[in-house]
Every structure is written in structure tokens, then in C-alpha cells.
Homo-oligomer: A and B are copies of this chain.
Amino acid sequence: MSAGRPVPQDGGVTFPTGYRASGVAAGIKRSHRPDLALLVSDTPATAAGLFTTNRVRAAPVVLSEELLRGNPTGARGVVVVSGVANALTGPEGYQDSQEVIRLAENAVGLPPRSLLHAATGMIGPRIPVPLVQGHLGQAVADLSADRAGASRAAAAILTTDTATKEAAVSVRLADGTKVRVGGMAKGSGMIAPSLGPPHATTLAFVTTDAVVSPQGLRGVLWPEADRTFNMLSVDGDTSTNDTILALANGRAGGAPADEDPAFRAAVGHVLESLARAIARDGEGATKLLTVRVSGAREEAEARSAAKAVARSVLVKTALFGADPNVGRIACALGYSGASFDPSRLDVGLSARGRRWPLIAGGTPVPGLDNGVGAKMHTLLQQLDEVVLEVNLGPGPASATAWGCDLSYGYVHINAHYRT
């Protein structure tokens, strides 16, 4: 393993040393799919978290934020409920989540205030606490440090997702220590970037055996989440439950990784893999959309421009129809707030190792109305990932955003979510 470079591995949250995970079906979801996940560190871990900026905050968000403030070096894991969000549930919902945490800590044999908590699902209904209570024993018995344990936890946090989302890397730090970073995430709808720390989109959990301080962990988590999860959009709706939690149990030993660029690269790799997996599995999605903007005056403008294209409902429906509708791309860039000279705009499609120009010098390439357009249509039909390269001008700043197309399937899922 070359020093400093993250090496992707097959694994999830149990890939780093000293973590166990499980996922069981407690009956919270009507579908009887797994809906209760446990993630436990064998020893106390440093923890950091990012939470939704939505003014309506689910009880687990409020509680986890409180716990992180009170005990940032004594975290022992997370209990996650899927099927209900426990948002808009008033003081009773807050008490329900406190009870879920207390029951889980008792079941695992942990001291109070050592488990973090997250939830995802319907907004409004309360957590059926007796169902959770009745299945925690099985969840604890199933806790496993192997690959399958991580996958079972990754499955139990899903809602409308069609696939689990896991990532893992190993990396060698500057002092020679080999550390591991693993992660899992869920997210398929109610997914949009927001602004300003503390913030995160959807649920994601990152584990590592690196030695790192609370400040160091947060100092890595925030910029890397901002570069990845905050550049992700499925539907433009910022959830009440968004949570990213990171645990670092220090089992790898060695010098603190706080300032080590290799550690940051490893966490960034895991977060980017998870963010891309979420975009690819967006509700009803048939294509992953990656929008790379360069040549912006400043980074904030590059980010706005990339996100506007990835979020545009018109770009997303055109993508579903494999329509090289460059006007909609230019339109989204135009209202993004980025300042650029439209007569210098270049947009291209990267696919199969080459770049196909779509807009050059501010106007669509010749033939896009007929022959070239038909060729692009056929190409777009065949791609399951579409990479748009946008150049706004001579500026130094760039950014990447991720999204997906908008299909009949999206409407079906969301028009009939309850019925």
C-alpha cells in the first residue's frame, strides 16, 4: 500500500478494527424488512456529527447533538430505526427516542449516554417502542464484526432505497500506521444539499480505528461532507432527519491522525463513494448524473452552478428521456447565481473515455437539432452514468455535484408512498 493514498476495500462499518454491527426486522416497517440497526464499538470512541439545518428537527437529531456535546470521546455506537422518522411528534417523540436509546444501552450493556441515535421514514408517526424493545435482544445477539454484520446493518437503515450503500478503505498515515475507514449510508428521497455547518444530508455512519481527537474528527468530517453530501441532490427537499455520525475508536494506534492528509483523503473517499451511491439509487432513478463545473470565479459559484444543473427538474426529466437538451443546462446555470459570460460557456458530455461537445462558445454545437442530437440521444440511452463537464470561463474555481434523473418511477414512489 503506497503511503497516503486510500485503497478501496470490500467492506462497511465493521471493516475498521473493533466494531460490530447488526440489523433485524422489528416490525416497524409494514413490509417486515429489517428496520432496527445497531453499530457498536468495542471500546469508547471519539465521535463527531453533522445534522440537518431544517428548522423542523426530528427527536433523534436533537438527542444525538446533545449527546455529542456532552460526551464526545465516550461514544460506543449508534441505534438506528427505519420506517418512522420520529419528526413532528412533539415531547412524546422526544421521550420515545430517549427510551429507545436507554433500552439499547441496557441491551448491549453500556453506560448511559454512550449510544447515539438516528431515525428515518414517515414524518408524523411515533416510534413503536415496544416493537423496538422486543427485538433489541436479537439485535444484540446478532452483533458481528464480520462483513455480513456490516451488510445487515446497512440493509436495516434503508427506506425506499433499492440497494445497500457501503464503502471502506485502508490508508497508511504519515507515521506508518495503517488505519481503516468504513461507512454505510441510506438515502433515496428527501435529499438535497443545504448550507452551513453543522449540516448533513440523509443518514451516513463512518467508522475508523484511527486515533483522532473530537476536534480533529470534526475538522475532517465537515469539509469532506460539505464537498460530497452537500453536493448531492435527489429531489431538492432537505430532510428533518439528516445525520452524519463518525466514530473513531483509536484501535489502530499510532500518532493522532488529526492533521494527516491521508486520513482526510480516506474519510473523503468513503463519503464520496456513499454520496455517489445515494445519487445512483435516487428514487426511481435510472441514471447517475455527475456535473463538474470549472472556470468559475470562486468556489461558492462553482458549487451553485453544479448544484443548479444537478437539481433542475427539467434537466432531470430530459436525462430520463435521454434528450441532449442543452438549453435546460444553460438555463439552470443562468439562474444558479454564478456570474459568467454566457458567450464563453462550454458544456460537454464525458463518456467512454472521450468528451463530446454540446455547447461551445455560448451556442449549441451544430447539428444538435438533428443528426448530432440523434447520436447523443442514442448514447445517453446507453449510459447509466452521465458526466457533464461545464466550463464557465477563465476563473480558477471548480466543484462537482451529483444527482440523478427524474422518472415515472419517482412520481409513482412519491405519489403512493403511504397508500
Footprint of B on A, CB under 8 Å?
53-57, 85, 87-90, 122-125, 189-190, 192, 194, 235-240, 311-314, 317-318, 320-321, 323, 325-328, 330-336, 338-340, 342-343, 345, 359, 361-364, 368-369, 373, 377, 406-408, 410-412, 414-419
Contact = CB atoms under 8 A, between A and B. Distances in A.
Contact of A318 (B317, B321, B414): B414
A65 to B, nearest CB: 15
Given A331-B190, A331-B239, A124 B418 contact: no
B333 A236 contact: no
Contacts of A123: 325-328, 330-331
A232 to B, nearest CB: 15
A323 B237 contact: no
A88 B330 contact: yes
A368 B123 CA distance: 12
Nearest to A85: B327
21 contacts: A53-B335, A55-B334, A56-B345, A57-B334, A85-B327, A88-B326, A124-B368, A235-B313, A235-B314, A236-B312, A236-B313, A238-B335, A240-B334, A317-B411, A321-B416, A321-B417, A323-B415, A323-B416, A408-B408, A408-B411, A410-B411
A327 B87 contact: yes
A298 to B, nearest CB: 15
Nearest to A407: B411
A377 B85 contact: no
Contacts of A361: 90
Given A55-B342, A123-B328, A123-B331, 19 more contacts: A54-B335, A55-B333, A56-B345, A85-B327, A87-B327, A88-B363, A123-B330, A124-B326, A190-B328, A237-B313, A237-B335, A313-B414, A317-B410, A318-B414, A321-B416, A321-B419, A323-B419, A407-B415, A410-B411
A119 to B, nearest CB: 13
B415 A189 contact: no
A108 to B, nearest CB: 30
A346 B362 CA distance: 48
A342 B56 contact: yes
A339 B236 CA distance: 20
Contacts of A345: 56
Contacts of A330: 56, 87-88, 123, 240
Contacts of A321: 414-417, 419
A306 B388 CA distance: 33
B317 A415 contact: yes
A203 to B, nearest CB: 15
A194 B335 contact: yes
A88 B124 contact: no
A323 B194 contact: no
A207 to B, nearest CB: 29
A410 B407 CA distance: 10
A406 B411 CA distance: 7
A96 to B, nearest CB: 13
A325 B54 contact: no
A237 B332 contact: yes
A320 B235 contact: no
B314 A55 contact: no
A417 B318 contact: yes
A275 B350 CA distance: 40
A51 to B, nearest CB: 13
A60 to B, nearest CB: 15
B237 A122 contact: no
Contacts of A339: 55
Nearest to A320: B415
A87 B329 CA distance: 12
A349 B320 CA distance: 34
A343 B85 CA distance: 17
